[in-house]
Amino acid sequence: MSFIVRFRNGAPALRGVRSYASVSSSNPAALHLRTGQSFVGKSFGAPVSLFGETVFSTSITSYTESMTDPSYRGQILVFTTPLIGNYGVPENEAPFNSEDVGVVLESKGIQCSAIIVQDLAERFSHYTAMESLDAWCKRYNVPGITGVDTRAITRLLRDHGTTLGRVAVGPDAALSSPADHEYWDPTTENLVAQVSTREPYTLNPTGSVNIAVLDFGTKANILRSLVRRDAAVTVLPWNYDFNNVRDYFDGLFLTNGPGDPGQCMEAAMNVRKTMKEWNKPVFGICMGHQIIGIAAGMNAYRMRFGNRGHNQPVLALASSGSITAGRVYVTSQNHQYALELTDPFPEGWEPFFINCNDSSVEGIKSTVESGKRIWGVQFHPESAGGPLDTIEMFTDFVNECKAVKASLARTQSVSSAPKFTARSPIIATA
C-alpha cells in the first residue's frame, strides 16, 4: 500500500537521494537551485528530500486544483501568492456519473513533487475543508517549505528561466547544495506515460455524442466539462492508436499533460494520420494543442519560464463558436513548451490566439478553406482553477460533434462500439 501511494505521488522523487527526517514543528528545509542559490525555511508536509524542476505559478486561488493537476508532474511548485492553505483541503471523493468523474479536485492525489510557500496557514477555515494542507501533503508524502522569500525565487526563475531544484529537509537541509550534475531533470523522462490512463475507460456511456479523449494527463475538469455537456467520453491512453476505433466516434479530444511534447512523438504521428484521413471535430488543450501543432508540422519550443497562472490575457485572432476575433480573454495556464509563431502559418492552419504579454501562440485552428474542424488552445478553458471566460469552447466543441453526427447519420450507418470498460477505476493518477 505504502509503496503504491509513494509511487503515485512522487515517482520522480525516488530518483533523488531520499531521506526521512524527524517530524517537528520547526524542522528546517532548504530549496537549492541549480543556478546556485539556496533558500532556507521550515518544512511541512512529508519530511522528504527530493529533486525536481522548479516553476512558479501566479495564481491567487486554487492551490488544491493546481497541486492535483497532472501537468505539474515532477515539478517543485512555487506559489507567488504568499498565503497558502487558508481554506484547507476538501474531501476529494466524488460520485462517478455524468455530473462528476470520481474526484472533486483535478486528480486523485497530489501531482507536483513539492510546494514552496511564503506563509502556510496551519489552521484553515472553510465549510468544505476536511484537513489542513500540511496533513494532506503528509498523507501523499509530498514535502513543502514555508517561510521562504517566494518573490525572490520567482524573480530568479523569471530572469534565469525554469531551473532544476532540490528540496532538502531536516538533516539534509544542513548539507551543502548538490553539484550541477546531481540535479535530476524530470523532462528527460516521458512524464505523460506516468500520468496517462493505462487502460481505456468510458464515462457517461449514454451521452448523446461519442467523444474519444487521448489522455496525456488529463485534469478531471476537462472530462467533467465534456460529460456535463452530455457527451459519452471514452478515455484512451496517450499512445493508443485512435485510428483503429475512430469510426465509432463523433469527435476527438486531446488533453493537457506534463513535460516536453517531444516525448510524445508517437501520439503526434497517430494524430497526424487522424487529421489527414478523418474529418470530424478535433480539440486539444495544452499538451493536446501542442501535439496537434506538431502533427500539423509546426515546431514546439521550450519557453524560458513558461506561463503558469490564472491571469494570462490572450487575444483571439479568429472568430469561432463562442470566441470573437479581436476580443481578449483572461485564461488559466500551466505550460513550459509552446508552438512557434511563424508567418505564414502552415497551409490549412491559422493562429487562433496569441498571448498578449509574450506573443506566444495560445491557439491554432484549421482554416475554413481546409474543410477540417480542428482547434487547439494552449490555455485551459476548463479553468479549475482560473477564470471561466472560455469555458463555452467545450459547448462549441460538443455542438460541432453533434452537428457532424447529425449530418452523417443521414448518410451512413453507425459503427458498433469498441469494447471498453465502462466506468473503470478512475483517471490520471499513474
Partner 1 sequence: MPFKKQTRDEQAVAAPAVGDYVPSSDQHVLSSPSELARRISARVLPKLARPDVHKVLVVGSGGLSIGQAGEFDYSGSQAMKALREEGIEAVLVNPNIATWQTSHQLASEVYFLPITVDYVAYVLEKERPDGILLTFGGQSALNVGIALDKMGIFERLGVQVLGTPIRTLEVSEDRDLFVQALNQIDIPAAQSTAVSSVNAALAAAEVIGYPVIQRSAFTLGGLGSGFANNPDELRDLAAKGLSLSPQVLVERSMKGWKELEYEVVRDAADNTIICCNMENFDPLGTHTGDSYHDEYHMLRSAAIKVIRHLGVVGECNIQYALNPASKEYRVIEVNARLSRSSALASKATGYPLAYTAAKIALGWTLPELPNAVTKSTTACFEPSLDYIVTKIPKWDLAKFSTHVNREVGSAMKSVGEVMAIGRTFEESLQKAIRQVDPRYTGFEAYSQPQDLDRALRVPTDTRLFAIAHAMFNKNYTVDQLHDLTKIDKWFLYKIDNIVQTNLAIKAAPSLESIDRDLMLRAKRMGFADQQIADLISSTEDAVRAHRKSLNVTPFVKRIDTLAAEYPAHTNYLYTTYNASEHDVEFDERGTMVLGSGVYRIGSSVEFDWCAVTCARKLRDMGKRTIMINYNPETVSTDFDEADRLYFEELGWERVMDIYELEQASGAIVSVGGQLPQNIALRLKNTGINVLGTDPQMIDTAEDRHKFSAVLDSINVDQPEWVEATSLEDAKDFANKVGYPVLILHEESTLEYNLSAAASVSPLHPVVVTKFIEDAQEIDVDAVAHKGRLLVHAVSEHVENAGVHSGDATLVLPPFSLDDQDMFRLKEITQKVAKAFDISGPFNMQVIRKDSGDRGEPVLKVIECNLRASRSFPFVSKVLGHNFIDTATAAIVGENVPEPVDLMAEKRDYVAIKTSQFSWTRLPGADPFLGVEMASTGEVASFGKDIHEAYWASLLSTTGFRIPQAGSGVLIGGDITKPEMQTVAKGLVALGFHLYCSSTVVEEFLNDLPHVRCHKIFFPTKDKRKLREVFDQHDIQLVFNLAKSKGTDAGDEDYVARRNAVDFGFPLLNNCSLARKIPQGGLRKYIEGRIPSEVKSWRGFVGSNV
344 touching partner 1, by CB under 8 A = no
C-alpha cell at 126: 472553510
Q: Which of 53, 189, 382, 400 is catalytic?
A: 382
| 286 assigned to active site | yes
In the complex, the smallest distance separating the C-beta of residue 424 from partner 1, rounded to whole angstroms, is 27
Nearest Cα to 61, choosing from 29, 42, 34, 83?
83
161 touching partner 1, by CB under 8 A = no
Q: Which is nearer to partner 1, 55 or 233 (CB)?
A: 55
Which class for 187: exposed (0-12), middle (13-18), buried (19 or more C-beta within 10 A)?
A: buried
C-alpha cell at 4: 503504491
368 touching partner 1, by CB under 8 A = no
Q: Which is nearer to partner 1, 17 or 356 (CB)?
A: 356
Judged by CB under 8 A, the residue of 17, 330, 404, 417 near partner 1 is 330
Q: Are 109 and 102 in contact (CB under 8 A)?
A: no
Q: What CA–CA distance (Å, rounded) separates 332 from 286?
A: 11
Q: Which of 286, 335, 400, 401 is catalytic?
A: 286
Binding segment toward partner 1, per CB under 8 A, in 133-141, 153-161, 267-275, 414-422: 153-161
Q: Which is nearer to partner 1, 251 or 309 (CB)?
A: 309
Element (H or E) spanning 141, and its range?
A: none
Q: What CA–CA distance (Å, rounded) separates 380 from 417?
A: 30
Q: Are 332 and 380 in contact (CB under 8 A)?
A: yes
Residue 89, strand partner residues: 131
Element (H or E) spanning 138, and its range?
A: helix 133-139
Q: Which of 32, 289, 335, 380 is catalytic?
A: 380
| 53 assigned to active site | no
State whether the Cα torsion 67-69-71-73 is positive or negative: positive
Q: Which is nearer to partner 1, 105 or 191 (CB)?
A: 105
C-alpha cell at 41: 525555511
| Gyration radius of the chain's alpha carbons | 21
Judged by CB under 8 A, the residue of 87, 140, 283, 375 near partner 1 is 87
Q: Which is nearer to partner 1, 155 or 198 (CB)?
A: 155
Q: Which is nearer to partner 1, 94 or 330 (CB)?
A: 330
Judged by CB under 8 A, the residue of 123, 181, 410, 419 near partner 1 is 123
Residues 185-224 interacting with partner 1 (rule: CB under 8 A)? none
Estimate to the nearest angstrom the gap between the alpha carbon of 164 and the chain centroid: 19
Judged by CB under 8 A, the residue of 14, 328, 406, 414 near partner 1 is 328
Residues 374-413 interacting with partner 1 (rule: CB under 8 A)? 383-389
Q: At what angle do helices 220-227 and 392-409 cross, to 10 degrees?
A: 50
Binding segment toward partner 1, per CB under 8 A, in 69-77, 108-116, 150-158, 407-415: 150-158
Q: What CA–CA distance (Å, rounded) separates 190 from 427?
A: 18
59 touching partner 1, by CB under 8 A = yes
Residue 82 contacts by C-beta under 8 Å, 6 or more apart in sequence?
117, 118, 119, 150
60 touching partner 1, by CB under 8 A = yes
Burial string for 379-404 (b: 16+ CB within 10 Å, else e) reads: bbbbbbbbbebbbebbebbbbbbbeb
In the complex, the smallest distance separating the C-beta of residue 100 from partner 1, rounded to whole angstroms, is 13
Local structure of 382: helix, strand or coil:
coil
In the complex, the smallest distance separating the C-beta of residue 384 from partner 1, rounded to whole angstroms, is 7
Judged by CB under 8 A, the residue of 75, 81, 210, 336 near partner 1 is 81
End-to-end CA distance of the chain: 15
94 touching partner 1, by CB under 8 A = no
322 touching partner 1, by CB under 8 A = no
Q: Which is nearer to partner 1, 95 or 326 (CB)?
A: 326
Q: What CA–CA distance (Å, rounded) separates 222 from 254?
A: 10
> 10 Å Cβ neighbour count for 139?
16
Q: How many residues bind partner 1 (CB under 8 A)?
A: 65
Amino acid at 182: E
Binding segment toward partner 1, per CB under 8 A, in 51-59, 195-203, 234-242, 244-252: 51-59
Judged by CB under 8 A, the residue of 27, 86, 239, 279 near partner 1 is 86
Q: Which is nearer to partner 1, 182 or 350 (CB)?
A: 350
Chain residues binding partner 1 by CB under 8 A are: 26, 39, 56, 58-62, 64-65, 80-83, 86-87, 118-119, 121-128, 147-152, 154-155, 158, 309-313, 315-318, 325-328, 330, 341, 343, 351, 354-359, 383-389
Residues involved in catalysis:
286, 380, 382
